[in-house]
Amino acid sequence: MNSPNSSDFLHPELFLDPTWDALFEQSPYPKPFAFNEDVARVFDNMVSRSIPLYREAIAAAVHWTRAYYQPGTRIIDVGCSTGTLLELLGRFLAEPAILVGVDNAQAMLDKAQQKLNTLPAHHQVELVCDRAEAVSFENSSVVILNYTLQFLPVHHRQQVLNAIYSGLVPGGLLFLSEKVKSPYPRFQEQLTRHYEAFKTRNGYAQTEIERKKEALENVLVPLTEAQQIAMLHRAGFKQVEILSKFHNFLTLVAEKT
């Protein structure tokens, strides 16, 4: 494991396209929600206004990747979207690395490609347009799965976690962020209200919030934190640590010991 130095604790600026997300202001609005060209165009603004602690989660993923990366292995970002994390990793990883971004939406990968063109040449970057369910994680020391498992059919998720565990080298790390739900209805109601107030503060009108909620129904299916952790244990991860949970968004790490 690499030892930390002072630059580990810097708070880096993310490379985010500022194009404003007004997708759900319009009628007809996109339903069901899909990662198409319209979403890709505004995705950076959408994600950073819609996920609490988004910037902190990305910065934390860089910190943990630097600590767990083993030279000669791969770093895989599953559901890499527009490449924001890979770009930051490329800037902050001193050693040459193989950075693999997987996403099944070509529109997202096209945006990622533009962002990653600015990276130092010593890294090898591969963008793979495929489903997480079809990917091999062999010879990886870090796999990042940020806000992506939640979009897979529930019955596919265990198999993907199993494949990640099996592909990680010993000492490897899974960095996972997910939207989760409370098993207790009153808590879930309050979490949702508090989350929607967060979106309001970030400039979304109530109609936009309601329309997106409708579009995401049966597309983004959250599990509970306990279900999520049970799946990790079933996959083989014995050590799991929660890094943050705010409103209904969870970030954790799991190590293959």
Ligand X SMILES: C[S@@+](CC[C@H](N)C(=O)[O-])C[C@H]1O[C@@H](n2cnc3c(N)ncnc32)[C@H](O)[C@@H]1O
For residue 212, state whether it binds ligand PRE (rule: CB under 6 A): yes
For residue 85, state whether it binds ligand PRE (rule: CB under 6 A): no
Place of tokens 């979490």: 191
Q: How many whole angstroms separate alpha carbon 89 and alpha carbon 243?
A: 19
DSSP structure string for 48-86: HHHSTTHHHHHHHHHHHHHHH--TTSEEEEET-TTSHHH
Q: How many whole angstroms separate alpha carbon 85 and alpha carbon 48?
A: 13
Stretch of residues binding ligand PRE (CB under 6 A), selected from 9-17, 44-52, 60-68, 100-108? 44-52
Selection from ligand X, ligand PRE, none that 23 binds (CB < 5 to 8 A by kind) is none
The alpha carbon of residue 78 and the mean position of all alpha carbons in its chain are separated, in whole angstroms, by 7
Q: Which is nearer to ligand PRE, 86 or 168 (CB)?
A: 86
What residues form DSSP beta bridges with 124?
Answer: 98
Q: How many whole angstroms separate alpha carbon 145 and alpha carbon 77?
A: 6
Handedness of CA 49, 161, 230, 1 (dihedral sign): negative
Q: Which is nearer to ligand PRE, 64 or 195 (CB)?
A: 195
Site string for ligand PRE, 110-129 (x = CB under 6 A): --------------------
Selection from ligand PRE, ligand X, none that 220 binds (CB < 5 to 8 A by kind) is ligand PRE
* Angle (deg, nearest 10), helices 206-216 and 185-201: 130
The DSSP symbol for 9 reads G
Nearest approach in angstroms of CB 40 to ligand X is 8
Window 158 to 187, contacts with ligand X (CB under 6 A): none
Residue of 147, 165, 175, 237 that binds ligand PRE (CB under 6 A): 147
Residue of 14, 22, 128, 220 that binds ligand PRE (CB under 6 A): 220
Selection from ligand X, ligand PRE, none that 146 binds (CB < 5 to 8 A by kind) is ligand X
For residue 69, state whether it binds ligand PRE (rule: CB under 6 A): no
Token couple for 156: 């596919």
Shortest-Cβ-distance residue relative to ligand PRE: 50
Selection from ligand X, ligand PRE, none that 46 binds (CB < 5 to 8 A by kind) is ligand PRE
The gap between the terminal CA atoms of the chain, to the nearest Å, is 13
Residue numbers of the site for ligand PRE (CB under 6 A)? 46-47, 50-51, 147, 179, 212, 216, 220
